[in-house]
Structure 1
Amino acid sequence: MSGPQASCWAQGTSACAPVASPVVEEEDRIGCANAECLGLHDPCTSFFLTNDQSCLQMNEFSWKDVTNALSLANLILGLFSIFCSFCKRCHCASWMLLISFLLDMAVGAITRHLSLCSKSGVELNDLAVYTTFGLASAMLLGVDGPLSGFLGIIYVLAATFRLCFYSTGAQLTYKGLPCRYASCVLASTSLLTKGNTFILSCMASLMILFMMDQSYYPHDEILESENWKKMVYLGGIIMLLLSPFSLTAFYCLLWSLSYIFFPDALWGKAACLRLQCREN
C-alpha cells in the first residue's frame, strides 16, 4: 500500500475520520433540512396551534359573506325596481325599494356590531346604495318629460354628492339625510298617491334639500339600540309581509319622517348616552 492511503493507515483511523465525502455532507444537509420542514409543516401541529385563530377567521369571513350577500340582494332589488319603473309598474318598484330600505339597515347593523371592514364589501355596498337609493328612487318620478327628467337627474346628483363628499368621519352622526330615508319617503308616497307625479316631484325636491343640507343626523342603529327601536324594525318587516300596500306605506312614511324631523329627540338619544359614558 503506498501513497496517501499508506500514510493514512500508518497514522491510524483517527486521522482519517475527519475526511468525509462532499456527497455525503450534501446528503446529510438535505436530510436535516427535510426533517426541519416536516416538523414545521406538520398538519397536526399547525392545526392545534392555530385552531382558535382559524375559527375566528372563518367566522369573520362567513359574516362578511352574509353582508356581501345582503348588499348584492339590495343591488338586485334596485335593478328590478328600475326595470319595473320602465314598465310603468310603480307599485312593484316602490315595494322593492321598501325591502331594500330594511336590508340596508341590516347590513349596517351587522357591519358595525362585528366591526367588519373590507374594501370589496364597502364598494359593493356603495354601489348598491347608489343604484337602489339613487337611480331607482329617481325613476319613481316618471321620466316622461323635460321637467321630471331634469328633477330625476338632480336627485341622482344629490344622492351621489351625499355618498361621495358628506363623509364626516364621526362615528355617531351622518352629514346630510341618509339616502335610504329619502328613498323610503318617495317609495311610500308613490304607494299612497298611486304614482302621482306632482306630489312625487314635490317630495323629491324636499328630499334633495335634506340630502344636500349640512345638518347632522344621528346613527339610528335600530338593531343595536333600545327595544322599542327593534320593535319598529320588526314591525316594518311584519308590515311588508302581511299588511296591505297602503298601511305598509303609511307606516314606513311615518318612520322616515320621524327620523327626518325629530332626529335627536327620538333616534339620537341612545347614541348621545353612549358617547357620554365613553367620555366619563
Structure 2
Amino acid sequence: MKSAIVERELGNVEEERRLLDEVLKQFPTFFKLWLMLGQLEEQFNNLEQARKAYDYGLKHCLGCIPLWMSYANLEERVNVLHKARDILNTARKKNPHVAELWLAAIRVELRHDNKREAENSMSKALQECPNSGILLAADIEMATRPHRKTKSINGMKKCCRDPHVTAAIAKLFWQEKKVEKARAWLKRAVALNQDIGDHWALYYKFELQHGTEESQKEVLAKCVGYEPKHGEKWQAVSKALENAHRPTEAILNKVVIALSKEEKAK
C-alpha cells in the first residue's frame, strides 16, 4: 500500500494502478486498497471502473463502511439518486446499528432538498442508534428554531460528554450571537476530544470572527500541538493528494475555508 501511495504522490498513475491490481489479487480483503483503486478511477472520471472497484471490494469487505459510502457518493455524484439510496439501504441491512450509514442517507436527502425524507430517516436512525453523538448532533442542526432547545436538551441528556453534540450546541449559540456561550461550548468540544480536526477548525473560525489576535494564536497553537487526525472535513482535506505532507496549520486553514464555503452554500 505504501508503494502505491508513493506512486500516487509522484503522479505515476499507471504504476499505482498496476500495484493495486497486483496486491488485490493476493489480498482481496484489504479494504483500503479497494478504496484507493476506486478513488484513483474517480479522479480520472473512469466512472465504470470506479463502480467495479467499489462493487468488487464490497464482495470481499461487506463490513467496510467507507467502501459503502464511497460507492453511494459516486452514484450521487453522477445524479443517480435512487442508486445511492439503494446502496445505503443495502449497507444498513448488512451492517445494522451503524450511525455513519444513517447519517450518510440523511445527508443525501438534504442535499437534494428532500427534507421530509431526511426527517423520516433521522427518526428511524435515532430508533436504531439512540445514543449516537453524530446523529444527535445532526438532529440538533436540522431542527427548526422552535425545536432547537428541546433537541439540544435531548442530545445532552443522552450524550452529555459527546464532542459532536457539544459542537452542535455551540453552533446554535454562535448563530444566536451569544458569543461567550458559543466560545465556552467550542472550548469544551475540543477538550472532550482533541483529535477531531473539524472542531478545531470550527473553533478557530469562530475566533477569527469574534476573538482577539491573542485568542486566535492560542487556538492555532493548541491545534498544532495536538495534531488532530480525524473529522470528516479534516480527513478529506488532509488526505487530498495536493495536501500530502502539509503541516497542521495549513490543513487547519483549508478546513476553515471549506467550512466557510459550506456555510455560504446553505
Is TM > 0.5 for Structure 1 vs Structure 2? no
Higher relative contact order (CA 8 A, sep 6+): 1
Q: TM-score, normalised by structure 2?
A: 0.27
Q: TM-score, normalised by structure 1?
A: 0.26
